[in-house]
Amino acid sequence: MTQDTFFHKKTTLNAGGKLIDLSTPKVMGIINITPDSFYAGSRKPGVDEALQQAEKMLLGGAAFLDIGAYSSRPNAEDISIAEEIDRLLPVVEAIVAAFPDAVLSIDTFRTQVAEAAIRAGAHIINDISGGSLDENMFATAARLQVPYILMHMKGTPQTMNQLAQYDDVFTEVLDYFVSRYQQLKQLGVHDVIIDPGFGFAKKNEHNYTLMNRLQDFDILGLPTLAGISRKRMIYGLLETTAAEALNGTTVLNTIGLMKGANILRVHDVKEAVEAVKIWETVNSSKTF
């Protein structure tokens, strides 16, 4: 089945009044305002460092910047809402001031953090818990009228590794999306992006099954985000490290594009943008 043959997949996104066309895949750059994210190269705990990274990513072609102040790596330290907001807001405010046209996504599962960031000028909520860790998140996304990234995870970052058990991982993740998307739609959230949650409560066989069947999520008619950058599913398979996983990331990002991904969430923007350009050229059958 080719992409969009039977299912009409939504390919536009309204983020703060900016209409973004996802029929051409877009790249989302990761900025972690944390001291302990799994990939050391992504840690930008200071405002100046975050601004420099934002500028580099925007110049490299990022359509979105995804900013997070809570590390969601396995067994990460649980920090308070106040600390998450204290880390996040100065960076959001600085990026909004320096790059007013940038589209900012906030990586949080907490309503108060999401709302504070949106009020400060961010545009999108990226919730790793799919609303399961804060019962007010769906209603908040609806009230704020912002796009919502619905990711699949079981448990919490502290417990998810113990919950990586499935009878049929694709069907379970699809059912999860169907149920939660219905809730979001009923509340009036107009722009929903789905993210299978690679690496979150999933073993390698689960991750690669989901990647292999990524295009089958098109039955939902929703844009898909693939977040696999430098993850263990790559460096564990290749027996290297996160620092050495750029080549593997580019390969898997390209496979994700072939499987219908609309957004690539990455640490390395330039390389992902190049992958999109090459995939697009091949896919459009241009001749020279």
Please list the active-site residues.
Answer: 231, 265
- What are 43-48's contacts with CB under 8 Å, separation 24+? 45/87, 47/90, 47/91, 47/94
Tally Cβ neighbours within 10 Å of residue 228.
Answer: 24
The whole-angstrom separation of Cα 63 and Cα 57 is 9
Phi and psi torsions of 226, nearest 5°: -115, 120
The whole-angstrom separation of Cα 63 and Cα 83 is 28
- Helix (H) or strand (E) run with residue 64 in it: strand 64-68
Give the 3-state secondary structure of residue 232.
Answer: helix
Q: Which residues of 179-212 are buried (b: 16+ CB within 10 A; e: fewer)?
A: ebbeebeeeebebbbbbbbbbbbbbeebbbbbbe
> Among 116, 98, 112, which residue's Cα sits nearest to residue 53?
98
Residue with tokens 């991750």: 207
| C-beta separation of 267 from 41 below 8 A | yes
The whole-angstrom separation of Cα 1 and Cα 215 is 8
The two tokens of residue 109 are: 């599962």
The whole-angstrom separation of Cα 140 and Cα 17 is 18
